[in-house]
Chain A
């Protein structure tokens, strides 16, 4: 009970701090745009020359796959700043002086990361509902086939992404630029591996899983189906596809269990993160020294301010020439600061 209360507050403070930042608005806007792009037909799911009718099941799976792909990579970079924020704001050192354990801390950050990613998934789920209504190919909204892919495919994947973000942050050699690149390759691997190897278990994004299900459905419907399966993003595709009605994934207990195992994997990763976490006492002591607060004027009569009068010799500044020089150096310093603050994908977007 005590632990839940603690984890709730750890995650809550972090989450609130995040979502009230301007950058979160940007994230939400980008998510809504992604929802729109899928809606507008810029992202499609095709099986050779066939596609599903835009009923709840099809919309759900299309939206979920788009979400899982994109958010698992972009989302990682969005949430991979939870521990760093505590360093930058210097809240970390206060936490370090409390009985808070490393594991509790990492779990709290994981929950906060997960909450942010879950909000993104939620927005895209809402976009799915809108999509089905706009398409009008199947009027009836069926919540189960529409939402289960989000709950059982996207969310467990996000839990792992959230945990990876904590782990990367707490392992010092993964916390910088190298880690960012490394994650991208890890992501690409996790995307390709289940499709290439047909390994049914190491399938974080559920892609192999969905693929098998859809293939089987298409094959049952169309004997000439060639087995192609593609999720496309790009210019709107105006080819005419033959349609079929897909009922959605048949969620057997076993399938659900396989997805739930990812939560355990996530928690395991958080344990690893806790092992490596330095509790804000980095050996390197990359400490941000706070600018000194202005000292107030002391007015107490009895003891004067210690005033060892100093003879100060300051080199006089040259009049004209220094000016342009300082402008360029300030400009350079400023742009360096700006670039430091932005992550590379921010610039790319």
Chain B
């Protein structure tokens, strides 16, 4: 199983670049796509899902060019778009039956899988309710179910946890870990903790370009010794945050405990702490910004 993205660019109307000469090679595992708003995550996913065509570049699935033979990838694809939508007057069973038929799953198998998936995403009790009455999170869970219908070899989920309550997010993270194995999962998110546990690789993307593609441990190593805990009086915050990259603040009785990401200790009192993926994300994104400004 091999997904190769070679020099892919996408230009939207009005000279707006969604993606620029983006290259990435993937084999089985879970890839977490991280990047700020407008970085090009959804653009990349839409291209991989064959929903839109790149302006330039090539994508191959097991050496087959998916621009020329899109069905090659569509047959093994599960896709949850960022703005997932449904027919409001169907219920979840009807909607999933529809999707199953479109994906070419035969009837009896579809029926079984639909029941299992409704169980999996915890929507069984709402199976007969019109989807128009679903909450955002319930709809999102249906979207996850629909992406898993055909037991995809390539699962592309665009911000799958958006709108999920904390309990459902934990459920989804567990599901994700179980799903891994002989497949490629690509997941985008803003919530770094979503991919912290499960992702085998992280791709950082900003302004349509790939900043970094590495195992989470590698990313963490990159900021080792660059994260500090620093206690300051709360009135100093405005001046401090103009100078430093702050990845978190907690208010305690002795003042504000800041998490600062910096090459060197920001102040004599600051203690080095072990970095999280979130710190690494902020560090690399902000570094790319300053490099760009230069």
Contact = CB atoms under 8 A, between A and B. Distances in A.
Interface of A: 2, 5-6, 8-10, 12-13, 16-17, 20-21, 85, 89-91, 93-100, 280-281, 283-285, 288-290, 292-300, 302-309, 311
Contacts of B277: 303
Nearest to A311: B238
B193 interface: yes
Given A280-B51, A281-B51, A290 B82 contact: yes
Nearest to A302: B276
Given A91-B86, A306-B248, A296 B241 contact: no
Prevailing SS type, chain B contact patch: mixed
B270 to A, nearest CB: 17
A304 B166 contact: no
Contact of A90 (B85, B237, B246): B85
A294 B159 CA distance: 12
B87 interface: yes
B192 to A, nearest CB: 7
Contacts of B278: 303-304, 306
Contacts, number: 147
Interface string B103-124: 1101100000000000000000
A297 B163 CA distance: 10
Contacts of B77: 97-98
A289 B146 CA distance: 21
B196 interface: yes
Interface in B153-170: 162-166, 169
Contact of A98 (B74, B196, B249, B259): B74
Main SS at interface, chain A:
loop
29 contacts: A2-B104, A9-B100, A10-B98, A13-B94, A17-B87, A89-B87, A90-B85, A91-B85, A91-B87, A93-B46, A93-B81, A94-B81, A96-B51, A97-B51, A98-B102, A98-B104, A99-B104, A281-B52, A294-B163, A296-B163, A298-B191, A298-B193, A299-B166, A300-B193, A302-B276, A303-B193, A308-B245, A309-B237, A309-B249
Interface string B219-245: 000000000000000000110010001
Given A289-B83, A296-B169, 10 more contacts: A8-B101, A9-B100, A13-B97, A16-B89, A93-B81, A280-B51, A294-B136, A306-B192, A308-B247, A309-B249
A303 B13 contact: no
Contacts of A285: 12-13
A304 B74 contact: no
Interface residues of B, number: 66
A2 B107 CA distance: 10
Contacts of A296: 163-166, 169
Contacts of B102: 6, 9-10, 95, 98, 100
Given A293-B163, A303-B276, A21 B196 contact: no
A99 B75 contact: yes
Given A5-B107, A13-B94, A97 B237 contact: no
B79 interface: yes
Contact of A304 (B50, B136, B137, B249): B249
A94 B166 contact: no
Nearest to A284: B13
